[in-house]
Amino acid sequence: CTYGGRTQRKKDQQTDDEGQSLKHKSREAVIKAFEHNLLNMFGLKEKPKPSRRIQVPQYMLDLYNEQANSPVSSMNFNVRGKSTRTANTVRSFHHHDHDDEKNPSAANSNGHSHKLTFNVSTMAEDEVLTAAELRLFCKTQHSISKRDVTDTRDTENTTQHSIQKLKHRVNVYQILKPVSNSKDIIKRLIDTKIVDVRNATWESFDVRPAILDWRRSPRANHGIEVEVLDSRGRPSGHRNFRIARSVTEQGDLEDETRWFEERPLIVTYTDDGRQKRAAGRSTS
Amino acid sequence: SRERNNRKRRLKPNCRRHPLYVDFTSVGWNSWIVAPAGYQAYYCQGECPFPLVDHLNATNHAIVQTLVNSASPQLAPKACCVPTDLSPISMLYLDESDAVILKNYQDMVVEGCGCR
């Protein structure tokens, strides 16, 4: 500026612009590095860009709220009946229901059993699976309940019979080898439970053996089969169990939101090794 | 002299915890972080003056370092005010494949500060 002149001012202006641009670039680089560091801390490679409207299963929200409201010292996923003591990560997976959408009444189903496939390949390889559950929603059917409640007022035999009618056995199989003919399918039973359909509840089935297999060999993931039998072991319709998306009287698929709330869910509990161990070395 | 020292101390507050709210919405991370919307992380700041008092939660090493510093500052700096107790938070988010994940992250919130 001391020499004066337009050229120098122009040069100065140019230098200023370049400086600003460099500053801007370096600021961007800093922000990028900052974000990269944070994502790395969260165990993510890049910022997730959800492709759909964020919908979170109620069970996951309940687990989160339980965690958020619990005292700091007892922060772990203590799920009753599950060995989740060391787990610090919970993932939820919905099954692929594209087949259901094409033909909801018949897809993968033969009336009393239903095939469900889940993509669990997104689980990090270095995480240790401590537990995995398949959660199925069992809804009550008032028409059945009312009739059976009336029945229970009759003789003792009728009561016993009615109670038996309200109990269903649910078998969960891992499909080892799918065959076009559903009778020849090779499967193994991984969990079974007797469910009383008088109560609307979420039933949990242990599917850890299947998930362990699928993680070892993703090509072996042929899904699981849910079979509903009556108390005598005969095939029974699974009207009470929300396994497949239902169809309205007009032939349309049921409401997306309702189906989302009640559809099957696999929940996995893993340990990424970052959890602080309770019995660590003590400081002097 | 004591009054002057007190005034100095008042100007440079002792090591303690200060609020630091991390807002995921303001950095545009609310598109994939479902909950919480943000959290109070806190930070530690302040002086670790000689002599170190009990509530400054100093280690034996910090006491020795402070003693050396008070005798000859060129030999060792003052002890640092750092987090001494941290707690985890749970986060509910969607990953790259839209899977819903609930995870506990260790050492996210400062519970206590001290001179180390």
Residue A68 φ then ψ, to 5°? -65, -30
Min CA distance, A91 vs chain B (Å)? 5
Nearest alpha-carbon partner for A142 in A70, A185, A198: A198
Are A236 and A230 a contacting pair, CB within 8 Å?
yes
Question: In the structure encoding, which two tokens stand for residue A109, read together?
Answer: 């189903």
Place of tokens 């009990």: B54
Provide the β-strand partners of residue A132: A268
ipTM: 0.80
Write down the pLDDT at residue A23: 73
Tell if the CB–CB gap between A68 and B99 is shorter than 8 Å: no
Tell if the CB–CB gap between A275 and B93 is shorter than 8 Å: no
- For chain A, say whether B37 makes contact (Cβ under 8 Å): no
- For chain A, say whether B71 makes contact (Cβ under 8 Å): no
Q: What mean pLDDT value characterizes chain B?
A: 88
Q: State the amino acid at position B60 in one-letter form.
A: N
Render each residue's pLDDT in chain A as its tens digit; 284 residues: 233 445 555 656 666 776 777 777 788 888 888 888 888 888 788 888 877 677 899 999 999 998 888 765 555 666 666 667 778 899 999 988 765 555 444 445 566 788 999 999 888 888 899 999 999 998 876 544 444 444 445 556 666 666 667 788 999 999 998 877 666 788 999 999 988 888 788 999 999 999 999 999 988 899 999 998 887 778 877 677 888 887 776 667 777 788 888 899 999 999 888 766 544 444 44
Tell if the CB–CB gap between A64 and B102 is shorter than 8 Å: yes
Tell if the CB–CB gap between B104 and A63 is shorter than 8 Å: no
The residue count of chain B comes to: 116
Chain B interface, best mutation among A66, A121, A122, A272, by max B CB count within 10 A: A122
Write down the pLDDT at residue B65: 93
A-B contacts (CB, under 8 Å): 92
- Distance between CA atoms of A47 and A40, rounded to whole angstroms? 10
- Distance between CA atoms of A259 and A100, rounded to whole angstroms? 12
- Distance between CA atoms of A203 and A164, rounded to whole angstroms? 18
For residue B34, list chain A residues with Cβ-Cβ distance below 8 A.
54, 56, 64
Q: Which residues from A are below 8 Å from B when comparing CB atoms?
A: 41-52, 54, 56-57, 60-61, 63-64, 67-68, 72, 75-77, 88-93, 119, 122, 272, 274-276
Min CA distance, B116 vs chain A (Å)? 14
Residue A271 φ then ψ, to 5°? -120, 120
For residue A41, list chain B residues with Cβ-Cβ distance below 8 A.
105
Q: Which residues of A158-186 are buried (b: 16+ CB within 10 A; e: fewer)?
A: eeebbeebbebbbbbbbbeeeeeeeeebe
Question: In the structure encoding, which two tokens stand for residue A158, read together?
Answer: 């009728």
Write down the pLDDT at residue A179: 74
Write down the pLDDT at residue A141: 60
Are B48 and B80 a contacting pair, CB within 8 Å?
yes
Comparing B28 with A109, the larger pLDDT belongs to B28
The region of weakest confidence among A124-128, A230-234, B20-24, B66-70 is: A230-234
Nearest alpha-carbon partner for B32 in A122, A39, A264, A266: A39
Residue A166 φ then ψ, to 5°? -85, -5
Q: Is B22 exposed, middle or buried (0-12, 13-18, 19+ CB in 10 A)?
A: middle
Question: Left, alpha or beta for A166 (phi > 0: left; psi -120 to 50: alpha)?
Answer: alpha
Write down the pLDDT at residue A97: 72
